[in-house]
Structure 1
């Protein structure tokens, strides 16, 4: 009888512990912070921060935008079943605007950096790239490396707040550094001879080479750096990141991303 009673007591104890465990798990799930995914679905709107000045990824066009990541943003919104709403930002304001909650995601040729990674998540990379010099074609042979460029008498121009500025300020000690706040007209400064070189992503350099006769992208097959481009997401929100990564995986696997990229990379 004692053994039977002990067994019965053990069974009741195990059942109690199981019930408590399930209750605690349920309470934990109930108290888990809501994902931005839930907020987006509830609002019916996906807010996208974008600079609108970085071909072929994001370009302000009239009252709207166009570019690779603009179409990808529209694709993401469609996958979510919501409407896209673009929020204009500047490169210098990108992280402050994002951290202030002005948008749910930031898209538009955003480079992956460890500094940004401290404060935000990134999606899986959309593509790999690197920094290359963009120069007047007459200077293509003499301005190929950092050592070639970093000399007195050479003017390096850059736009504020992004990886181009960071590279210029950390890499060049003797060349003249010139800040230019408009990322659309900056290339004309090189053509006009008011600057000699801009260090930018290979994709953008190639696009500007096509758009601006007289400019040449240098060694696009051997960039000065390795970098990746991705989408900026709220730090810690693994649910929203998982959705974005899966959507991007499908877009790449079905060829959707490549079709959009090829359309704008002409």
Structure 2
């Protein structure tokens, strides 16, 4: 399995759709389950990371690229699929505790996650990028321009974006949002200046 390290804006980050369990005797890991024997796979997903996973509040159904991949897999193999909500801060612990068999929905590879599980092959690479209002597109585009005390960054806890922001933007103000999809609206309304996100999002 290949490893990767952080490269700031302008660098690549590997991306994998699925984080699956593997067998081990170390603490915090659980035994892999034969979903073909149980005829059911339980899938954790955050439902807040378009275009990979999104909980449609009108239908109460999950949508997105990774969701459709799992549904197609389940249909082809003749097993049932159950989606279980998780969050970025609790994703790894939920997987280790056996709350679900795998995770889908834009799960970026990192060492902490690889300690408790295994990834499929990456199918996409991307970069971190700032999301700003149109009128700020000329002044808030570099790390130096954003890393200032008079700039406020909207941030969702628990994911690789939080790790990147806290390491890179030590001088900027940070406002936390429980729901990742609330941050673009906060940028648009002027509640915050910037959202650090991924180019694919």
> Which structure's CA Rg is the greater one?
1
Equivalent residue in structure 2 for 1:149, among 146, 149, 169:
146
Shift in Å, 1:76: 2.0
Q: Distance in 1 between matches of 2:33 and 2:179?
A: 34
2:103: which partner in 1?
106
Equivalent residue in structure 2 for 1:185, among 170, 182, 189:
182
TM-score of the superposition, structure 2-length normalised? Answer: 0.80
1:54: which partner in 2?
49
Q: Distance in 2 between matches of 1:165 and 1:114?
A: 15
Runs in 1 of length 4+ with deviation above 3 angstroms? none
Equivalent residue in structure 2 for 1:36, among 27, 32, 38:
32
Q: Distance in 2 between matches of 1:138 and 1:178?
A: 21
TM-score of the superposition, structure 1-length normalised? Answer: 0.61
Q: Distance in 1 between matches of 2:136 and 2:63?
A: 32
Shift in Å, 1:164: 1.1
Cα RMSD, aligned residues only = 1.7
SS of match in other structure, 2:125: strand
Q: Distance in 2 between matches of 1:177 and 1:170?
A: 12
Q: Distance in 1 between matches of 2:65 and 2:44?
A: 14
Q: Distance in 2 between matches of 1:159 and 1:195?
A: 13
Q: Distance in 1 between matches of 2:104 and 2:54?
A: 12
Shift in Å, 1:188: 1.0
1:134: which partner in 2?
131
Q: Distance in 2 between matches of 1:80 and 1:110?
A: 23
More helix by share: 1
More strand by share: 2
Structure 1 regions of 5+ residues with no counterpart?
1-32, 205-266
Q: Distance in 2 between matches of 1:44 and 1:121?
A: 21
Structure 2 regions of 5+ residues with no counterpart?
1-24, 26-30
SS of match in other structure, 2:171: coil
Deviation readout 1:172-209 (Å, 9 max, x if unpaired)? 111111111122222111111110001111111xxxxx
1:116: which partner in 2?
113
1:167: which partner in 2?
164
Q: Distance in 2 between matches of 1:158 and 1:84?
A: 31
Q: Distance in 2 between matches of 1:111 and 1:179?
A: 20
Deviation readout 1:146-180 (Å, 9 max, x if unpaired)? 11110120001110110111111111111111111
2:67: which partner in 1?
70
